[in-house]
Amino acid sequence: MQTNPRPAASAGTPDTIKIPTGATPCPCNRMDLIFTDNEKAATPFAMRRKMKGKIKKLWTTEKRDTTVGYWETLSPGEVEETLFSPAGMLLYTATEKIKRNNSDITLSSKISFQYDSDNNPRQADLYVLSANPIVFKFDYAPKGNLRSIYTGKDTSLDTRQGKDMTIHFKCWHLDKRYYLLRNVFIAQVKTAQSGFVFDDAGNLMEKEQVEYRTSKTSKHTKEKFGYNGQGMLTKHAYLERNGDTKSVITITNDSYGNPVKELWGSGAYTAYEYKYDPQGNWIWKRQTFYEHNAFSGQPEISERINFKRTIEYYR
């Protein structure tokens, strides 16, 4: 496999997120995990792993219920289209916001991927309101080990316009855990760092994120996740910097493994309803947010969002 070497960004700020002693460096070759930013595997790269059947294309329409907890400044919703290859690789995902009225600007974005013969991503083109894409290049070491993703003259992902952006990856393995460290550099200055811990089934167990301004830490968050014996998410904890628990969400799931209730310690909660296709993938979902009313002592709806999804399968 040929590689396209890229000069390494300056280390600058040392790593804040620490990897356990004894962890062994390993290839960063799990694309479904590398592009997972959350415990629900909601990113297009990861969602394919969570869905059943051989998915070809998804059309998802998200609409806010404007009769409940709706603010006029919010978009009424969005429409998303996602295409996968027969091998399950993400080819593109395109999103367009639903206009509040005809005078609104059409807000849309699209990202498409190109792969090599080993199904490793080599290039991603991101279109945001423009015909000129931001081009991301993927740099690999031998054996499909992803080292970095970089782009030139980034003008939309950071306020320091006209700067090169590079994302560096490092991975380790220890006791059936997969550790991923991701560093973001703008003009060779580290601006953010994210650490992820996955179990051997690909479930996200821990997440830690750090943002930097100059050489100082400006934001540092930690989260932990718990699962039942069927691999369903049942607990989401937000932690203090010292590791103490700050707040916990308790999750109840249906037989398909999707959440039906997410309960906060404050009493606020989110409820979900679904309709499924014969493959066991949801094709309709309602997400309702309830907040605790301090005066009545009862929960009341603060927001409701309806999702409709059409799924095309490979035959």
The mean per-residue pLDDT over the stretch 122-142 comes to 86
pLDDT over 70 percentage in the chain: 85
Which of 6-15, 29-38, 187-196, 285-294 shows the highest mean pLDDT?
A: 285-294
Name the residue type at position 48.
R
Give 294's pLDDT tier (boundaries 50, 70, 90).
confident
Q: pTM for the whole thing? A: 0.83
Q: What is the pLDDT of residues 249-282, one digit of tens each?
A: 999 999 999 999 999 988 899 999 999 999 999 9
pLDDT over 90 percentage in the chain: 47
Q: Give first-to-last CA distance, the chain, whole Å.
A: 31
CA dihedral 64, 32, 121, 180 (to 10 degrees): 110
pLDDT at 135 over 80: yes
Q: Is 40 helix (H, G, I), strand (E, B) or coil?
A: coil
Q: Which residues does residue 121 pair with via DSSP β-bridges, in sequence order?
A: 115
Using only the alpha carbons of the chain, give its radius of gyration.
21
Give 216's pLDDT tier (boundaries 50, 70, 90).
low
Give 227's pLDDT tier (boundaries 50, 70, 90).
very high
What's the confidence (pLDDT) of residue 42? 59
Structure tokens at 67: 């009769």
